[in-house]
Chain A
Amino acid sequence: MTETSRDSQAEIIDGLRQLLKKQVPLDASTNIVRDLQLDSLAVMDFIMSLEDRFEIVIPLDRVAEVETLGELARVVDELRGRN
């Protein structure tokens, strides 16, 4: 895992902690929809907040392929590298 990936992941987890009312263990293997029980509207809002946090654009098809926090961090990393 690269340095930025850990940074992205830490920031994603930080963002999720603010969003979730309850304490849930969060790591790279956490399944965003299943483990966190977020509905699709909440997930999309969260993705938009990440776009703003990292100053990137995450196209919808990239969101579709993501299941875990680790996968999300990798997509964010890749897009951060692009900009």
Chain B
Amino acid sequence: MNCAEGIELVSILSKFAPLRQTYDSLRSVGQNPFEMVFEDMLSSTEGVYKGRKTILLGTNNYLGLTFDDACIEEAVTAVRAHGTGTTGSRIANGSYGTHRELEHSLARFFDRKHCMVFSTGYQANLGMLSTLAGKGDYLLLDTDSHASIYDGARLGHAEVVRFRHNDPDDLYKRLKRLSDLPGEKLVVVEGVYSMLGDTAPLREFADVKRQMGAWLMVDEAHSLGVLGANGRGLAEEAGVEADCDFVVGTFSKSLGSVGGFCVSNLDDFDVLRVACRPYMFTASLPPAIMASTIMALRRMQEEPQRRQQLHENAQRLYHGLRKLGFAVGPQCSPIVSVAVADAPLAVEFWNRLLEGGVYLNLALPPATPTPAPLLRSSVSAVHTAAQIDRAVQLFEAVGRQLGVLPPVVNQARKRQAAVAPIAGHAEVAMVASGGAR
């Protein structure tokens, strides 16, 4: 019996053999980056790993609200008052007053007529993309789109077309080719791209959208609470909120909980509640989560200084690493990624950072925009300067041990001039690490 089950299991999973091999080889270097377990969480910026305090520099906890006293109190009160879970979907079990309150809070914050909340940010994209664009319609996706956007496109029946990353001219070209074909065209971009932290040229995208009569959706997952005078994201910062027909986002980053949403001014938006399968056929958000999220949204508005501090912290890390010669992303944002030459080097680097007491994310292709693996950090408003400085020092030490940085700073400067006078830091660091291996 056992044996037969064993054979069955092997055959249906045998297609994953190459993945298994990759996964196991990661483990052989030290800690597998994709199976981290923290024994304890001490704060928004510190966890305990193997009995040791570890700086959390890769948790998208931009405003540091996960341990906010008011948010915790609201969650505790809600769980006592309304129980631990809703045990079903809003269509079947009905909504709680809190679902409506959460939606009203978000609609008010974004100054939009309508809001729908989802159980995760992933589901918000899955739901909106698959439902808004139907058979005969077109979805135009940036090549660097998050997996949830690609998966939403796959779930639906629209034709899916990609345009080059952050390239409004390329989008224009593709919309032009589609202009004689019937069907709605929905363009999807992200406020801040999660791998390199670069922002979309949203003004230009909005121009193209208007000119070509397309619809525009912006995913503000990494920009809510981060960009804009009021923290409404890139659309607010770029001054094109009126052109963004749909804004989606998540509660699991700046708002410190879990869940997703979409806001819109479109009349009849609410019909989606009975058309959108990832909204209809899953359990709705539990009371404690909604309560802490409503409070986090309030805290975010009451304390704009968190956003200010976040950007100061981002500058500190980004410029600290850049000055050392690391291949950081094209612009400073709370997501600070360092590209390294290849996967074995990246895994080794990542492990040494962890051993030194700093945890961040390891991103391997094809999850990365280019074939270069990334050591991806995300900064929080509540990181101390000392924590960030510690991370930069550790990056430098490991970078020199592994030959990603040249051994002495003075030589690095000379080498930069000699090897590639016009190259940016990215190329220099790639050359340095490639040369050492």
Contact = CB atoms under 8 A, between A and B. Distances in A.
Interface size range on A against B:
10 to 19
Give chain B's interface secondary structure class: mixed
Contacts of A65: none
Interface string B6-32: 000000000000000000000000000
Given A57-B177, A60-B160, 8 more contacts: A41-B366, A41-B371, A44-B143, A52-B173, A55-B177, A59-B160, A60-B153, A61-B160
A24 interface: no
Contact of A57 (B143, B153, B178): B178
Interface of B: 143, 153, 159-162, 164, 173-174, 177-178, 180, 365-366, 370-371
23 contacts: A39-B365, A39-B366, A40-B366, A41-B365, A41-B366, A41-B370, A41-B371, A44-B143, A44-B162, A48-B143, A48-B162, A52-B173, A55-B177, A56-B177, A57-B177, A59-B159, A59-B160, A59-B161, A60-B159, A61-B159, A61-B160, A83-B177, A83-B180
B371 A60 contact: no
Contacts of A56: 177
A51 B174 contact: yes
Interface of A: 39-41, 44, 48, 51-52, 55-61, 83
Nearest to B368: A41
B157 to A, nearest CB: 10
A58 to B, nearest CB: 8
A37 to B, nearest CB: 13
Nearest to B159: A59
Contacts of A44: 143, 162
Task: Specify which of B159, B365, B370, B371 lies most central, judged by the most chain A CB atoms within 10 Å of its CB.
Answer: B159
A39 B371 contact: yes
Contacts of A57: 159, 161, 174, 177-178
Contacts of A60: 153, 159-162
A52 B164 CA distance: 11
Nearest to A42: B371
Contacts of B370: 41
A51 B371 CA distance: 22
B85 to A, nearest CB: 37
Contacts of A52: 173
B366 to A, nearest CB: 5
B177 A48 contact: no
A60 B374 CA distance: 26
Contacts of B173: 52
Contacts of A51: 174, 177
A56 B366 CA distance: 26
A48 B164 contact: yes
A57 B180 CA distance: 12
Contacts of A39: 365-366, 371
Nearest to B180: A83
A57 B370 CA distance: 23
A66 B306 CA distance: 50
A58 B366 CA distance: 21
B165 to A, nearest CB: 11
Contacts of B159: 57, 59-61
Contacts of A48: 143, 162, 164
B271 to A, nearest CB: 26
A60 B138 CA distance: 11
Contacts of B371: 39, 41
A15 to B, nearest CB: 16
B125 to A, nearest CB: 16
